[in-house]
Amino acid sequence: MRIDIITVLPELLQNFTQESIVGRAQRKGLVEIHVHNLRDYSTDKWRRVDDYPFGGFAGMVMQCEPIDRCISKLMAERKYDEIIFTTPDGEQFDQPMANTLSLAENLIILCGHYKGIDYRIREHLITKEVSIGDYVLTGGELAAAVMTDAIVRIVPGVIGDEQSALSDSFQDNLLAAPVYTRPAEYKGWKVPDVLLSGHEAKIKEWELNQSYERTKRLRPDLLEKK
Contact positions vs ligand 6GU (CB under 6 A): 86-88, 112, 130-133, 135-137, 139-140, 143
E-strand spans in 8-160? 32-37, 50-51, 61-62, 82-92, 106-111, 116-117, 128-131
Q: Which CB atom, from 133 or from 178, has the smaller least distance to ligand 6GU?
A: 133
Q: How many whole angstroms separate alpha carbon 56 and alpha carbon 41?
A: 26
How far is Cα of residue 62 from the mean position of the Cα atoms in its chain?
Answer: 23
Smallest distance from ligand 6GU to CB 107, Å? 14
Q: How many whole angstroms separate alpha carbon 30 and alpha carbon 15?
A: 18
Q: Could you give the maximum distance between any two Cα atoms of the chain, in Å?
A: 70
Smallest distance from ligand 6GU to CB 132, Å? 4
Q: How many whole angstroms separate alpha carbon 53 and alpha carbon 59?
A: 7
Q: How many whole angstroms separate alpha carbon 159 and alpha carbon 166?
A: 10
How is residue 187 annotated by DSSP? T
Q: How many whole angstroms separate alpha carbon 174 and alpha carbon 177?
A: 9
Smallest distance from ligand 6GU to CB 64, Å? 19
Q: Which CB atom, from 91 or from 105, has the smaller least distance to ligand 6GU?
A: 91
Q: Which CB atom, from 147 or from 175, has the smaller least distance to ligand 6GU?
A: 147
Q: Which CB atom, from 33 or from 117, has the smaller least distance to ligand 6GU?
A: 117
Smallest distance from ligand 6GU to CB 76, Å? 26
Smallest distance from ligand 6GU to CB 57, Å? 17
Q: How many whole angstroms separate alpha carbon 170 and alpha carbon 161?
A: 18
Q: Which CB atom, from 107 or from 137, has the smaller least distance to ligand 6GU?
A: 137
Smallest distance from ligand 6GU to CB 8, Å? 13
Peptide bond into 96 cis (omega under 30): no
Spatial neighbors of 168 by CB under 8 A, at least 6 apart, are 95, 176
Q: Which CB atom, from 70 or from 130, has the smaller least distance to ligand 6GU?
A: 130
Smallest distance from ligand 6GU to CB 115, Å? 11
Q: Which CB atom, from 9 or from 194, has the smaller least distance to ligand 6GU?
A: 9
